[in-house]
Amino acid sequence: MNMARYKTDTRLLVVAGVFCVLFGAVGVKLSIATIIMPLAPQQHQIAPQVPPIPKSDPKGMVANDIVLPQVHRASIVDRNGQALAISLPVAQVYANPQEMIDPQDATRKLKQVLPHIDAAETLRRLSSARQFVYLARDISPAEELAINNLGIPGIYFEPGERRRYPMGRVAAQIMGGVDIDDHGVAGVERFFDKRLDSNRAPLTLSLDVRVQNVVHDELQSAMDTFQAIGACAIVMDVRNGEIIAMVSLPDYDANDFGHAPADARFNRAVTGMYEPGSTFKLQTTAMALQDGVAHIWDRFSSVPIKVGRFTISDMKNDHFDPWLSLPEVMAHSSNPAAAHIALDAGAARQQDWLRNMGFFARVPIELPEAGHPIIPSTRNWGVSTVMTVAFGHGVAEPPLAIVRGTAATANGGFLLKPTLLLHDQDRTPGGTPVPDTDMAAQTPDAQRLISAENSSILRKILRLDVTKGTGDRAESAGYYVGGKTGTAEKIGAHGGYLKHVNVSAFTGIFPMNAPRYAVYVMLDSPKPTAQTHGWTTAGWNAAPTASHIITRIAPMMGLFPDTAHQEAIENSLFIPMRPPVPHGYRALGPGNDPGTMHLHESEGSRHGSHHGTGEMTSEAGHLARMHAARDEREGAMPLKKRQERG
């Protein structure tokens, strides 16, 4: 009996010992797994409505690869990887009131996490007889986790995302915006809507936010100084068409797109239509040289031209020779002389040139807002139209079109397609300039419209306009700026011309000895100051603004002032105001001006048919009405045939 009991106790002790060892092993294993070395939960173990928490990146190591969980719309970055637009994970909180145990307690707890919600309204919704009610929208992941930890039955989450623009006002009109469903409605957000939704890799733009900020600061300063009602500025790489900066003022915070006023959303650089004024004389000169109509030693009359009751003349304080060489026409910005150059070319050549240079069509840029220019009917393109278009009146173009045309005259003669996308080649700012002969190969969209020889001449003429002409205040020491000023009067809402209310602009290139960047500055309705001695023309406001911009942005892009070789560089860019006539040539000038004959023939034709000045007045009146209507609708600045000097 005792032996049997002893055996039984021994077996029980053995079994108990085994269980102790097993439970001890399990306890040790649990301690290691939960306390000492806990394992991260598997993805399938986490509730689907609770998103993963993004990893911290304090050093910005993933700036060029911004991809957040539960976000499908790709980010947008500048050429250096700075985020311009990014979608953040958010959630919508909803409930099934039928599953609520204590709506009042649930409301109290939700109010602690979401203090902005209306407690009374939330309680009413949670107490309703419905099965689905929204409680809050676009809450952060942290708020979502906090609500989830409350453990309230009947509370659910719906994942979503919210578009944010970390740089605020920087490139706001370029960014555009998205609607409540995250679909692009303006700017690159709309243009690349499908791409941003289908490919999560960041979209890299050609913009440089550093340059964009500098241009914005300088343009805002000029706008404030001259009390302008609007302004825009553009910086473009003349080798590949990349837009480095594009600023339109006034602007707005891109995060508040839906509440921004129309005038702030209006992108003056691509949507605004403005008379180019004397900046268009560059195209007239380029046309004459390239088509063999004129040479640099030819001379053209600066005497006022009377057409019916209209007179084309220069400003009353302009005192220069009645016959000007081609470089002098540009440097002095003479309207009658430019008109004579265009008369020598004729209407057909002028139309073909402007059409080939893209001035008859919408500028090809990745912005849906890019507008179509306003131009006269080609059927009514008479002598008066030829003359006024020659010095930038009678047409209205977006500023980007002027920049594109200016770049073509200086980059070896290539018309480029402007782009907001970063090219695969030449990703390094400050790299070696692309030779003229290689540009077409490296930029497939480039079209050569001007010979290398004529482009070299035009560079010298543009440099002359800054060293000795109307654009002298655009100079920036060591950067050898070249460019052209332009000023045009505005038309009011009722079609009348507004005296002393101008749109002033400067279009230029730097450095002229090795062209890299085009710079354009426009001020809408600037006021005179003591420093401008009462003037509101571009040489007094737009030109110095361009100088300030160039001086500040050039080092950012790897360009530094070269003063050590100044004499050699200036000699390479030198062109005399009055080039000598080569042996064996008969220069255009007094007694040899086919344009004057064309003008006299036109006058005789009009008088014979009793049309008087109807051609000029009807065309000008038609365009004026078009401009006035567009001005009232969009803020575009229309044309004016006026006495003007750059």
The pairing of beta strand 184-186 with beta strand 482-491: unpaired
DSSP 8-state symbol, 579: P
Please report the sign of the dihedral spanned by the C-alpha atoms of residue 42, residue 44, residue 45, residue 48: positive
| Close Cβ partners of 534 (under 8 Å, ≥ 6 residues apart) | 528
Cβ(409)–Cβ(508) under 8 Å?
no
Give the separation between CA 440 and CA 148, rounded to whole angstroms: 60
User: Which residue is listed with tokens 């019916």?
Assistant: 308
Catalytic residues: 278
- Counting Cβ atoms within 10 Å, is residue 338 exposed (0-12), middle (13-18) or buried (19+)? buried
Please report the sign of the dihedral spanned by the C-alpha atoms of residue 234, residue 236, residue 241, residue 244: negative
| Region class of 428: left (phi > 0), else alpha (psi between -120 and 50), else beta | beta
* H or E segment to which residue 75 belongs: none
Give the separation between CA 268 and CA 639, rounded to whole angstroms: 15
Cβ(521)–Cβ(546) under 8 Å?
yes
| Close Cβ partners of 519 (under 8 Å, ≥ 6 residues apart) | 233, 234, 235, 483, 506, 507, 508, 509, 510, 546, 549, 550
DSSP string, 501-516: EEEEEEEEEE-TTS--
| Close Cβ partners of 644 (under 8 Å, ≥ 6 residues apart) | 277, 278, 315, 335, 391, 393, 487, 488, 489
From residue 191, how far is each of 188, 247, 388 by CA, in Å? 5, 19, 36
Written as six digits, the tokens of 335 are 């309207």
Cβ(436)–Cβ(539) under 8 Å?
no
